[in-house]
Amino acid sequence: MVSFLSLPRHIRDKIYAQVVLFDEPILTQEAIDDICGRKSPTAHNFATPSTVGLSIFRVNRQIHEEASFIFYTQNVFSIKVVTEAYESYNQRKQCFRARWTTPWEDIAYEFTEEGGIGHFCPGDYGGNLGNEILQKDVKTYIYPSIRYRHLLRNVRIEIVDTCFMEYCTQQVPIKRQSSVGKRKTLYTLLRKPTFRKTNPGRIPLKTIFMPLACRLRCLLAACSTNVNIAITVSTTMLDNFDELSTRAYKDLVELASPFTKGYKTGNVDLHIQYEEDYELDPKYEGLKTKVLKTCNRDAKIDGPEGQKFENVDVELMLHWRLLKGRLVIR
């Protein structure tokens, strides 16, 4: 009788591919139920991913090694970042949060309009408490485990901005108009008390996602020269190409720039909203590359100030926990 392991390796690999390769975001069924059941304002932005069953990993050691190699090298691991803004209840400050949902963790990074270093907080607004509190260095608990990280080859990051284009750039989306009309619009905007209140100074867009980008670089350190990063950036502040100014385009590139740092340039593909509509416009030619170079050589990001983003604390009275196979904060 012919056993499975007696088959040629290339035949076994084809069988593994039928079992462990997926087109949709990779999450366990427990994680899917958790995402779909939460009450976060951004929950509707997360499409239901497909179920992933990896029971084949448990057959024996050889099959585990062969199947896991196919799983990690050929699948695309999807990450979604959705931003939102809200006003704090007691301090009357404008607050911002970036919710970070991956196959291995579900958290958020939160900070106020004053800028500076914020803190990690729950990705949702309630839910199960999770398992025991993680007392050790949480970086050692980032999934997948260390033995598999060097195998990762494809990561997809989708960034959906719902607030920073309005609150952080000292401008709202302005439709193309005459220079006189633009000056009047800007003058009216600057004279609004609410604008001065919510925008005391321009928040550096290139630092907003730094804590999240640092966590990802820690995960991908073992495969940083081989992994391919595909990034798409969009904003709900724009309805069509006509509302996209070169300033808004630069801001979207700057917002995503932390996720491009630390990898081979040729392995990072950054796609900006409506890019196919303006790729032939000379105003945008080479603009993306120029903005990324400026952001990535910023001395403040590489110096002591930038290192602070690698050690962001968890919100007071909360802890890192494991919930259904993923890191959460409760």
**What local confidence, expressed as pLDDT, does residue 324 receive?**
73
Q: Which domain holds residue 22?
A: 4-329
Q: How far apart are CA 257 and CA 244, in angstroms?
A: 19
The pLDDT of residue 301: 64
Distance CA 39, CA 48 (A): 15
Instruction: Give the per-residue pLDDT at 55.
Output: 87
Which pLDDT belongs to residue 257? Answer: 94
pLDDT, position 242: 67
- Rounded-to-integer distance, Cα 131 and Cα 315, Å: 18
Write down the pLDDT at residue 129.
62
Euclidean distance between CA atoms 98 and 110, whole angstroms: 7
pLDDT score of 25: 57
Which two tokens mark 62?
């050889």
Amino acid occupying residue 97 = R
Whether residue 106 contacts residue 328, with contact meaning beta carbons closer than 8 Å, is answered with yes
Domain count, the chain: 1
Can you give the pTM of this predicted structure? Answer: 0.80
Counting Cα atoms < 13 Å in the Cβ hemisphere of 306 gives 16
pLDDT, one tens digit for every residue, the chain (330 residues)? 789 999 999 999 999 999 999 876 565 444 444 444 444 434 434 444 445 678 899 999 999 999 999 999 999 999 999 988 877 766 667 788 899 999 888 899 998 877 678 899 998 755 566 566 666 666 667 778 888 999 999 999 999 998 876 655 444 443 444 444 434 433 343 334 443 344 445 567 888 899 999 999 989 999 999 999 999 998 888 776 666 788 888 889 999 999 998 898 889 999 988 777 776 778 888 888 899 988 877 756 666 667 788 888 888 888 888 877 788 888
Report the pLDDT value the prediction gives residue 300, as an integer from 0 to 100: 60
Among 157, 263, 250, 172, smallest CA distance to 209 is for: 157
Residue 187 pLDDT: 37
3-state secondary structure string, the chain?
CCCHHHCCHHHHHHHHHHHHCCCCCCECHHHHHHHHHCCCCCHHHCCCCCECCCHHHHCCHHHHHHHHHHHHHHCCEEEEEEEEEEECCCCCCEEEEEEEECCCEEEEEEEECCCCCCEEEECCCCCCCCCCECCCCHHHHCCCCHHHHCCCCEEEEEEEECCHHHHCCCCCCCCCCCHHHHHHHHHHHHHCHHHHHHCCCCCCHHHHCHHHHHHHHHHHHHHCCCCEEEEEEEECCCCCHHHCCHHHHHHHHHHHHHHHCCCCHHHEEEEECCHHHHCCCHHHCCHHHHHHHHHHCCHHHHCHHHHHHHHCCECCCCCEEEECCEEEEC
